[in-house]
Amino acid sequence: MTTPANPATGSLSGTPVVPGVAAGPVLHVRGEISPAAIARFGDGGFADAESALAAYDDAAAAVAETFTTKAASAQGAAAEVLTASAGLARDKGLRGAVNKNLQAGHGPVAAVQGAVDQFVTIFTTMGGLMAERVTDLRDIERRVVAHLVGEPAPGVPTPTEPSILVAEDLAPSDTSGLDPALVTALVTERGGATSHTAIIARQLGIPCIVGAAGIMELPTGTFVVVDGETGTIEQGADPDEARERVEASRRLREELASWTGPAATLDGLPLKLLANVADGASAESAGVEPVQGVGLFRTELCFLDQKEEPTVDEQADIYSAVLAPYADGRYVVVRTLDAGSDKPIAFATHAGEENPALGVRGLRLSFDNPGLMDRQLDGIAAAAERTGTETWVMAPMVATVAEAADFAEKVRARGLKPGVMVEIPSAALLAHRMLEVVDFLSIGTNDLTQYTMAADRMATDLAHLTDPWQPAVLQLIAITAHAGREAGKPVGVCGEAAADPLLATALIGMGISSLSMAARAVRPVGAQLSRVSLETCEAAAEAALGAPDPMAARAAVREVLGH
Ligand code: PEP
Ligand code: MG
């Protein structure tokens, strides 16, 4: 856990995930239902288990309906997670577990809590994306119990003035429909850089800090200044000074968002900024941003809901839609299926693995099913030919040079340019040998951090470890970048780290040749890089690499940049 930065002045700190400064009173999310209300309700006085189950059905249907209504007025990722929560509230398996507990003589509240506990254990054991649903399950539990005992639904109270929303962790239902004019920043005690909280904050464009230990102890109404770049939450600041800082930050964000490229450092070194895309629609919308192409097309995201493997022709159609917007001289890096672990795909995932993140995922799926890879490469080659777009192809989860060599041979046989992702420390340490057999490398910092720190990227209480600013992760990136320079071959970064404007300067300074990120991150990153020279980037890299921990590394880079 992150420790308070300065207990003497009452400042707290956490992992900064969305930059920007906000100031205002703390507003706590209503979490638990009062034990007194639950005690009053007792066993609900139902005549039998059947009538208690009917009351559960009413409560679950009402909760699901709330999610569905919120989903209808939400957009993008928020709408998707709310729809998923509605489905979870109606889940037959959950209802079955509640019924079993009722039949065994438990009261309705205990029956719901017991059933949810059981599902939480199953989801936690499965790890990855499923483990992330635990927050959603607990949210459903609180809401169903609140409905049963006749208490108001837990969640975000409506702010009466611009406020800083504080919670242990935020569920999608808490964060959807938030008005950024009234909720000006999010701070949570738990949650990682890829948690729902962070995703929603990015979407709303409000500062966000996760993993802030001690934040729950701040009383509602405490005036704080939240800095989403430094990760600090200050108390006792002068309100006028705070207002000025907020205004300066707002002006800076506006300026950054208006950057239009082309990407280059202050002293004119051209840079490559690329987009991460998931399908034809996102490729098209990213194409109008100032990007030189796509640095990561996550092909598995096209197949999450498909039971059967699409044919080569069907795949060629899907890939063509992504390649087509870049037929104007730009290029697209297609990643072969990264199924398994947090991205289960019906036709390509090994079921029942004890530890799926370390199991048969990514490239490894092709070991006992080479046809899966061959058909995908055929589909990609057909799309490349049809659109005329320059197409590079890379494999995820590559651990050995032999794997890279086999993959490269298959890709070259189809006239395409082969590369591999560096997501496993073994690949970073052997980057120089990898580059003897492939034409480029792309560092996936999300997984590289997970595997270097042995910390699940979805874990909500390991934000301090799942941080790409960790010295060991930065060293592995530097080793890989150095190998690229020596070999004269491109080494890019395509994980979340590339979207962090501060870290982007250090990455360029290490010799990284391209940064690929969510389309909306491109302008702030491009603008930041345009304000610094290559020499400053190199100084930022040295400062980051020499720092003892992530917060010190951020502070050292900020100092180099004069922030
Ligand atoms: C990564 O691991 O950094 C990466 C880009 O791949 P994904 O996030 O899809 O696992
Ligand atoms: Mg990855």
Domains with residue ranges and CATH for the chain: 3-30+156-254 (3.50.30.10), 35-149 (1.10.274.10), 266-561 (3.20.20.60)
Q: Which atom of ligand 1 is nearest to the CA of 276?
A: 5
For position 222, what pLDDT does the model report?
Answer: 94
Please give the share of the chain, as a percent, with pLDDT higher than 70.
94
Provide mean pLDDT across the span 130-152.
85
In angstroms, the CA 38 to CA 65 distance is: 23
Cβ burial, residue 351 (10 Å; 0-12/13-18/19+):
exposed
* Radius of gyration for the chain, computed over Cα atoms and rounded to the nearest angstrom: 24
C-alpha span between 198 and 77 (Å, rounded): 12
How many Å apart are CA 326 and CA 264, to the nearest integer?
21
Distance CA 394, CA 420 (A): 5
pLDDT at residue 4 greater than cutoff 60: no
The answer to whether residue 8 scores a pLDDT higher than 70 is no
Cβ atoms 444, 396 nearer than 8 A: yes
Residue 47 CB neighbours (<10 A): 7
pLDDT of residue 322: 98
Is the pLDDT at 226 greater than 60, yes or no?
yes
Rounded distance between C-alpha atoms, residue 394 and residue 438, angstroms: 9
- In sequence order, the β-bridge partners of residue 440 are 419
* 14 or 257, which is more confident: 14
Average of pLDDT values for 227-236? 94
pLDDT over 80 at 161, yes or no: yes
* Contact between 68 and 15 (Cβ < 8 Å): no
The SS3 call for residue 234 is strand
**Given 147, 196, 208, 302, the catalytic residue:** 196
DSSP code at position 299: G
- Token couple for 305: 């809901």
Averaged pLDDT, 498-521: 94
77-86, 87-96, 396-405, range with the lowest pLDDT: 77-86
285-324 residue pLDDT tens: 999 999 999 999 999 988 877 889 999 999 999 999 999 9
Instruction: Quickly count: other Cβ atoms within 10 Å of residue 498's Cβ.
Output: 30
Does 192 score more than 80 pLDDT? no
Q: Which atom of ligand 1 is nearest the CA belonging to 444?
A: 3
Length of the chain: 563
Best of 297, 298, 342 for a ligand 1 pocket test (most atoms within 8 Å of beta carbon)? 298
Query: How big, in percent rounded to 5, are the helix, strand and coil portions of the chain?
Result: 50, 15, 35
What span, in angstroms and rounded, lies between the C-alpha atoms of 280 and 262?
24
**Nearest alpha carbon, ligand 1 atom 9:** 298
Give the type of residue at 244.
E
Residue 191 has pLDDT above 80, yes or no: no
Contact 293, 331 (CB under 8 A): yes
- Tell me the percentage of the chain whose pLDDT exceeds 90: 67
Backbone angles phi and psi of 6, in degrees to 5: -155, 85
- Residue 233 to residue 202: CA distance in whole angstroms: 18
How many angstroms separate the CA atoms of 356 and 111, rounded? 31
Q: What is the pLDDT of residue 463?
A: 82
Residues 233 and 225: their CA atoms lie apart, in Å, by 6
pLDDT of 6 strictly over 50: no
Residue 214: both structure tokens together = 């001690």
Q: Where does the pLDDT of residue 92 fall: very low under 50, low under 70, confident under 90, or very high at 90 and above?
A: very high
Respond yes or no: is residue 196 known to be catalytic.
yes
Q: How far apart are CA 511 and CA 87, in angstroms?
A: 46
457 annotated ligand-binding residue:
yes
On the question of pLDDT at 274 being above 90, the answer is: yes
One-letter amino acid of 518: A
pLDDT band at 343; cut points 50, 70, 90: confident
Look at 5-19, 146-160, 448-462 and tell me which has the smallest mean pLDDT.
5-19
Is the pLDDT score of 9 beyond 60? no
Per-residue tokens: 485: 């320079």
Within 6 A (CB) of ligand 1 lie 296, 298, 338, 423, 444-447, 494-495
Residue 176 is predicted with a pLDDT of 64
Give yes or no for residue 197 having a pLDDT over 80.
Answer: no
Residue of the CA atom closest to atom 6 of ligand 1: 444
pLDDT in tens, 32-81: 777 888 889 999 999 999 999 999 999 999 999 988 987 887 666 667 77
Of the candidate ranges 169-173, 258-262, 273-277, 555-559, the one whose mean pLDDT is the lowest: 169-173
Strand arrangement of the beta sheet that strand 21-28 belongs to: 12-13, 232-235, 223-227, 21-28, 163-167, 183-188, 208-210, 15-18
423 Cα nearest atom in ligand 1: 2
| Cβ atoms 423, 452 nearer than 8 A | no
Instruction: For tokens 């090994």, name the residue.
Output: 350
**Integer CA distances (angstroms), 413 to 55, 164, 243, 372, 379, in order:** 63, 56, 61, 16, 14
Per-residue pLDDT, averaged over 413-423, amounts to 98
* Residue 414 marked as a ligand binder: no
Mean pLDDT (whole number) for 261-284: 95
Residues 240-256 pLDDT 10s: 999 999 999 999 888 88
Is residue 446 marked as binding? Answer: yes
pTM over 0.85: no
Task: Report the residue among 129, 282, 358, 421 best suited for mutation to probe ligand 1: largest number of ligand atoms under 8 A from its CB.
Answer: 421
φ/ψ bin of 301: left (φ > 0), alpha (ψ from -120 to 50), beta (otherwise):
alpha
Q: Which of 88, 50, 51, 52 is nearest to 67 (CA)?
A: 88
Distance between CA 296 and CA 392 in Å, rounded? 10
The pLDDT score that the predictor gives to residue 77 is 67
The Cα–Cα gap between 468 and 447 comes to 10
pLDDT at position 151: 82
Instruction: List the structure tokens of 554.
Output: 């951020």
User: Of 450, 457, 408, 403, which is closest to residue 427 (Cα–Cα)?
Assistant: 403
Q: Catalytic: 494? A: yes
Strand partners, 21: 227
Q: Collapse the DSSP code of 415 into the 3-class scheme (helix H, G, I; strand E, B; otherwise coil) and give the result.
A: coil
Q: In whole numbers, what is the pLDDT of the chain averaged over residues?
A: 90
CA atoms within 13 A on the CB side of 68: 11
Amino acid identity at 172: P
- Predicted local confidence at residue 132, as pLDDT: 67
Q: 190-204, 497-511, 518-532 — which is least confidently predicted?
A: 190-204
Under the banding of pLDDT at 50, 70 and 90, the label for residue 440 is very high
Identify the weakest region by mean pLDDT among 325-329, 355-359, 389-393, 415-419: 355-359
CA pair distance 140, 458, nearest whole angstrom: 20
